[in-house]
Amino acid sequence: MWRTSTGERVTVAVIDTGVREVPELAGQLLAGKDFTDGVVGEHDEGGTTAAAAIAGTGKGAGGEESVYGLAPGAKILPLKVSDGSEAPDSLLRSITINNALAPAIRYAADSEAKVITVSVAARQGSAVVAEAVKYALSRGKLVFAAVGENASGRGEVQNPAVVPGVVGVASVGEDLAASAYSTRGPEVDLSAPGEDVLSACAEKAGTCRSSGSAVASAIAAASAALIWAEHPNWTNYQVMRVMVNTAGGPTSGAVRNDYIGYGVVRPRIALQTPGDPGPADSYPLPDFTDAPAPQSGGATGGEKAIPVAADNRHHAFVISLGVTGVGLLCLALSVPLLMADRRRVGRNLSGP
């Protein structure tokens, strides 16, 4: 994939609990903005993981080889919001999250970012967040959001992934089956690797393995960056359409299901054989009939999860490459996704 595109000239806005300037993100971070009003949640700087999974350069402390993101040529616009963990109950958590999400999304909409990924998730919806999303779409942005987690996976898809126009992203494991804890529902649009993904992070060790729909949303956003860098004249709707059309769909043969949506993102396939991107001003999914046309030039446990089709598994892609003592592991089509045990978004499986 990197012979074709590394995501160069594409900026991804990461709306999360803060991004630390770790070595792997040196030169990748633009000046961001803090929307927390000084209220720091439990997982401050948790967005480092998402940002590094997108744009990590593979250069660690002292120039040592480290971990790559999927789109190492992309830039990151870090927008800090609270995860609501300081609030005493679920409703107040949702209010805290949504009060920061709406202005953060609008800020991203007015920025040079083409892609927006939202890691934090709230149980309650918000009209102002929905309006902010609609504004971002009108500005030519592509918005991804984590669907959230629940211990059984049976909880409702959370906000803002439930908002029409947002690409709700669920998590899958190395076997490309939906993660047991990833929430499911009709708002799930796409899925991406989200279990044990190796990336740089804000932890003392410098690298960690993360699980959850937040990192899956970041991987979907990075996939969009790769495609958009190769096709800079496409609109947000065209990029989204190609991602949906090239996704590895359910084994049942259904167009979509509530576990993995239209399927697992496959940026390598989208870059090689994208097919017809379709009309520039037509929203490609049926959940938003009143989607605004992008402005001209705007693109500046319980039930068993259903896996994607077995014949799509050979298209699994490397999200990040760990470094062993002698050097960098090489990209290869058969290299499996590197995975292990740190969970994020909503930071605990019960969600905010």
Q: What's residue 153's pLDDT?
A: 67
* pLDDT level of residue 200 (50, 70, 90 thresholds): very high
- Gap between the Cα atoms of 46 and 342, Å rounded: 12
Q: Determine how many CB atoms are found less than 10 A away from the CB of residue 303.
A: 13
Given this model, what pLDDT does residue 41 score?
59
Q: How far apart are CA 275 and CA 298, in angstroms?
A: 23
Q: Give pLDDT, residue 85.
A: 78
Average pLDDT over residues 184-199: 96
pLDDT interval class at 302 (50, 70, 90)? very low
Give me the residue spans of the domains in the chain.
Answer: 11-343
Is residue 306 over pLDDT 80? no
Q: Name the H helices within the chain.
A: 47-55, 90-109, 127-138, 213-230, 236-246, 267-272
pLDDT on residue 326: 27
The contacts of residue 20 (CB under 8 Å, 6+ apart) are: 45, 48, 202
The torsion region of residue 83 among left (phi > 0), alpha (psi -120 to 50) and beta comes to: alpha
- pLDDT the model gives residue 296: 60
Report, as an integer, the average pLDDT of 9-38: 95
- Taking the C-alpha atoms of residue 297 and residue 326, their distance in angstroms, rounded to an integer, is 46
Q: Any idea which of 3-17, 21-35, 149-163 has the lowest mean pLDDT? A: 149-163
pLDDT value, residue 287? 87
Rounded to the nearest integer, the mean pLDDT of the chain is: 84
E strands, the chain, are 11-16, 33-34, 57-59, 65-68, 75-80, 115-118, 142-146, 167-172, 188-193, 197-200, 207-211, 323-324, 327-328, 342-343
Query: What pLDDT is stored for residue 46 in this prediction?
Result: 86
**What's the average model confidence in pLDDT over 198-211?**
92
Q: Please list the alpha-helical segments (H only) found in 8-139.
A: 47-55, 90-109, 127-138
pLDDT at 320 over 60: no
Give the tens place of pLDDT for each residue, 214-272.
999 999 999 999 999 999 999 999 999 999 999 999 989 999 999 999 999 999 999 99
Calculate mean pLDDT across residues 280-291. Answer: 92
pLDDT at residue 51 in the model: 98
User: Over 90: is that where the pLDDT of 323 sits?
Assistant: no
Q: Which tens digit of pLDDT belongs to each residue from 62-118?
A: 889 999 999 999 999 999 998 887 776 778 888 889 999 999 999 999 999 999 999
Instruction: Give residue-wise pLDDT tens across range 37-61.
Output: 876 656 678 899 999 999 999 999 9
CA atoms within 13 A on the CB side of 172: 36
Where does the pLDDT of residue 151 fall: very low under 50, low under 70, confident under 90, or very high at 90 and above?
confident
pTM equals: 0.85
CATH match for 11-343 among 3.40.50.300, 3.40.50.720, 3.40.50.200, 3.40.30.10 = 3.40.50.200
Instruction: Report the pLDDT value the prediction gives residue 204, as an integer from 0 to 100.
Output: 85
